[in-house]
Amino acid sequence: MKVDYSKAAKKWLENSTKFQLDGLALQGIRIDRVEIGVVRCNFVIPDHLSDENGNWNVGAISVLIDDMAAGAVFSYCGGNLATVDFTMSFYSMAKVNEEVEIEANVVGEKGNLVSVVIDIKKKANGEKVVVGKQWMHLPSASERKGRRKNDKMEVDYPKAARKWLENSSELQLDGLALQGIRVDRVERGVVRCDFVIPDHLSDENGNWNVGAMSVLIDDMAAGAVFSYCGGNLATVDFTMSFYSTAKEELQIEANVVGEKGNLVSVVIDIKKKSNGEKVVIGKQWMHVIPFKKPQAGKSKL
């Protein structure tokens, strides 16, 4: 019989004080339901998660999606989880102080990989905001079986997940995720940086937090695109593929690689500085609205 990890997942979601970045992105989240393979929440977007246009910050969205995915997968099978592929597709903007409904569902399992879909809609009218899709890696079946015996059916995973989601800090999201970054080079369509991962961006295993990566990748992409063509930018598609974990100094390079109408494609490559090992590749499409040129006034002569 399948073990019910949903209670433990709820507790894990609620207890967010340990990780500053997650707590900031999830501040005020209300968990409606947690059961095996499903997490549902309501969320009023707070002021501190706005971008420069008053919309929900893309980095904040990515942190929340990763946490919701982990909660759903953890409620499904427990275990130490690692994100291996992460995609977000955007359909509309959500404003600060607007309420959204969020549902994460486990939709498939293949070996040690579990697939989860996260659907976010506006509560007022059901309009789709973003759909996130992730593959997460789990321990082997034998390892999970052994751990379940040790748990003796007493661990309440959903309850822990709920606590992890609801507690929060008051730090600003982008500044927290980029603290200490050193910009090495910026030219048209290219941004290069070095970054030593600070302690406050670690996950429970001491590795670079996936949500923190996604915030940095979105900011690097925006920097590269802005250097290429300026304008007001909006992320419309966001993908991350993971190759290794990281705890040390990194080299980050964002390159604009294509343009189609008002859409610009950018690739962000992150490697370990010590040995060049690939950590993660981010790929984004950004919509660009050119700045309006000031209209020349009529001559008064």
Residue 92 shares a structural domain with residue 66: yes
Among 166, 201, 231, residue at a domain's last position: 166
CATH number, domain at 273? 3.10.129.10
Query: CA–CA separation, 59 vs 45, rounded Å?
Result: 13
Query: CA–CA separation, 265 vs 256, rounded Å?
Result: 6
Q: Where are the beta strands (DSSP E) in 99-230?
A: 99-110, 113-122, 128-137, 182-187, 190-196
pLDDT at 110: 87
Q: What angle do CA 246, 284, 26 make, to 5 degrees?
A: 65
Residue 218 shares a structural domain with residue 262: yes
Q: Number of structural domains, the chain?
A: 2
Residue 119 shares a structural domain with residue 237: no
Its domain, for residue 281, covers: 178-289
Residue 21 shares a structural domain with residue 128: yes
pLDDT at 13: 59
Among 134, 166, 198, residue at a domain's last position: 166
Among 138, 166, 194, residue at a domain's last position: 166
Residue 154 shares a structural domain with residue 184: no
- pTM (2 decimals)? 0.78
For each of the chain's 301 residues, which pLDDT tens digit applies?
A: 455 566 666 665 566 434 577 778 888 889 888 888 899 999 999 998 988 889 999 989 999 999 899 889 888 877 777 888 999 999 999 999 999 999 999 999 888 889 999 999 999 999 999 999 999 987 655 554 554 444 444 444 444 434 433 332 233 677 788 888 888 888 888 889 999 999 989 887 889 988 899 999 998 998 888 888 887 788 999 999 999 999 999 999 999 999 998 899 999 999 999 999 999 999 999 998 876 654 444 433 3
**Bridge-based pairing state of the strands 190-196 and 232-242:** unpaired
Residue 148 shares a structural domain with residue 186: no
Name the one residue in this structure whose structure tokens are 């661990």.
155
Does residue 298 lie in a domain region? Answer: no
Residue 11 shares a structural domain with residue 66: yes
Does residue 297 lie in a domain region? Answer: no
Does residue 152 lie in a domain region? Answer: yes
Does residue 126 lie in a domain region? Answer: yes
Does residue 301 lie in a domain region? Answer: no
Residue 96 shares a structural domain with residue 187: no
Residue 129 shares a structural domain with residue 200: no
Residue 243 shares a structural domain with residue 157: no
